Structure 1
Amino acid sequence: MIEIQAVKQDRKDRSRYHIHGEGEEPLLTVHKDILIRHELLKGHAFTEDELAAIGDEDSRYRAYIKAVAFLGAKPRTSKEIEQYLQRKEFEPEHISSAVERLESEHIVDDEEYARKFAAQRIKYANKGRRWIKQELQQRGVSKQAAADAADAIDKEAEREAAVKAAGKKWRSLKGDPIDRKRKLMGFLMRRGFPGDIVKDAVKSVMEQAAAEADDEEDGLLLDN
């Protein structure tokens, strides 16, 4: 058995404590929650195996705490959390433990993340479902969850996004109307909009452009 001789708070990270035995170097360093859970107090004794298990538990807990802090800025996918913890050099088993705990507590939910992400991209980025599906997969969302989120996108909201994107692009295109139409269709297809929505958006924008041209012509005739 190894008896704890001293417990010292870390000077930089006040949430962590150094557990000392007879030597100068600490037996282990743990988060205060782990210290309380296992009653790592002066005079208490533990076997080497028990201390090793507590150290391993602390590593898993540190990974979890880091992940929760990372989530504080904005929602993340499981894959993004894994990559973040890998950069922090946590062991693979501790990373898996942290992600599994976050998922079991519903703090991380890739399917919910995918649905919200898709709705926001349609509304604010004017991107189509195919583009959004690809973005979700790049963020580590499974193919099925990404596909489900894309399929759930409101068709009318997507059409409005396409019309908005088309209207902005149309004003910057050069060439005759046929050439501009071809370029606009290609632009919308690259942004991930389905073919039927692309056709509707292009038709809407061209009709609007024609109406504006007629209004300008009428105005000139009245001026004359």
Structure 2
Amino acid sequence: MIYTVTSVEQDAKQYRRYHIYMNNDSEPMLSVHEDLLIRHRLFKGLELTESAISDIRAEDNQYKAYALAINYLGLRPRTSKEIERYLQRKEIEPEPIAYAIERLERERLIDDEDYAKRFAESRLRSGGKGRLLIKQELKMRGVDKHTADAASQELGREAEQAVADLAAAKKWRSMTGEIYDKRRKLAQFLLRRGFPMDVAMQAVKRASADQEAALDDEELGWLDN
């Protein structure tokens, strides 16, 4: 069957979308973005087959998914999984979602490996988190296990230790009680923040060193008496 465009109307709310009416029907057969309107010359008098209409509708769905993803990316960097989940919430079909993600990856607008690396460095530096918690957070954002592992492993040991030492020293100053109890609680605090056991214990040792030295001096003073 051949359909003829009999009317084209601009959407009242989305000014860059247009409704295409065929064969004098009262309901539009197509709703397309302005770019597709021009590309396919969807003006009054154009004749289209059912197959052509189906292809245009599929292309518009892909375009819609891509445009939504671009707007979502404008807020902050995203992983491919975050893009997928967002488009699903917008009730976009799987095929247009796959198209949008593939195109964004091809255009280097989303790159999970680069995202994971930058996220890990930022969380360590400004978030005060250790590699184990950072790895978990990456997975929650949809980064696959291999990429999350690689990004967390790339964090420098010295840099991670320095962050742990800083967090431990700050926490130690606010703690009260016996030194052994404080050391235990501080170690638990650092482990919860995702620092490996050896890094956490080294930070605890350094944070408590001054108080231990003071206690040693008190003991020596008592012996002198």
Q: TM-score, normalised by structure 2?
A: 0.90
Q: Distance in 2 between matches of 1:69 and 1:6?
A: 30
RMSD of equivalent CA atoms:
1.6
Q: Distance in 2 between matches of 1:27 and 1:182?
A: 69
Aligned to 1:13: 14
Structure 2 vs 1, CA of residues 168 and 92 (structure 1 numbering), >3 Å: closer, same or farther? same
- Give the unaligned 5+ runs of structure 1: 218-224
For residues 26-50 of structure 1, the C-alpha deviation after alignment (integer angstroms, 9 at most, x for no partner) is: 1100011111221111211110111
Q: Distance in 1 between matches of 2:205 and 2:34?
A: 64
The structure 1 residue matched to 2:41, chosen from 39, 53, 58, is: 39
Deviation, structure 1 residue 175? 2.1
> Alignment partner of 1:180: what SS?
helix
> Alignment partner of 1:5: what SS?
strand
> Alignment partner of 2:188: what SS?
helix
Aligned to 2:123: 121
The structure 2 residue matched to 1:81, chosen from 80, 83, 97, is: 83
Aligned to 1:220: none
- Give the unaligned 5+ runs of structure 2: 219-225
Deviates more, 1:33-42 or 1:103-112: 33-42
For residues 108-139 of structure 1, the C-alpha deviation after alignment (integer angstroms, 9 at most, x for no partner) is: 11110000000110011110001000110111
1:203 aligns with 2:205: yes
Q: Distance in 2 between matches of 1:110 and 1:69?
A: 18
Q: TM-score, normalised by structure 1?
A: 0.90
The sequence identity of aligned pairs, in percent, is 50
1:100 aligns with 2:102: yes
For residues 44-68 of structure 1, the C-alpha deviation after alignment (integer angstroms, 9 at most, x for no partner) is: 1110111011011101110110011
Deviation, structure 1 residue 171? 2.6
Deviation, structure 1 residue 169? 1.8
Aligned to 1:182: 184
> Alignment partner of 1:132: what SS?
helix
Q: Distance in 1 between matches of 2:125 and 2:181?
A: 28
Amino acid at match of 1:78: S
Q: Distance in 1 between matches of 2:111 and 2:80?
A: 8
Deviates more, 1:64-73 or 1:158-167: 158-167
Deviation, structure 1 residue 168? 2.3
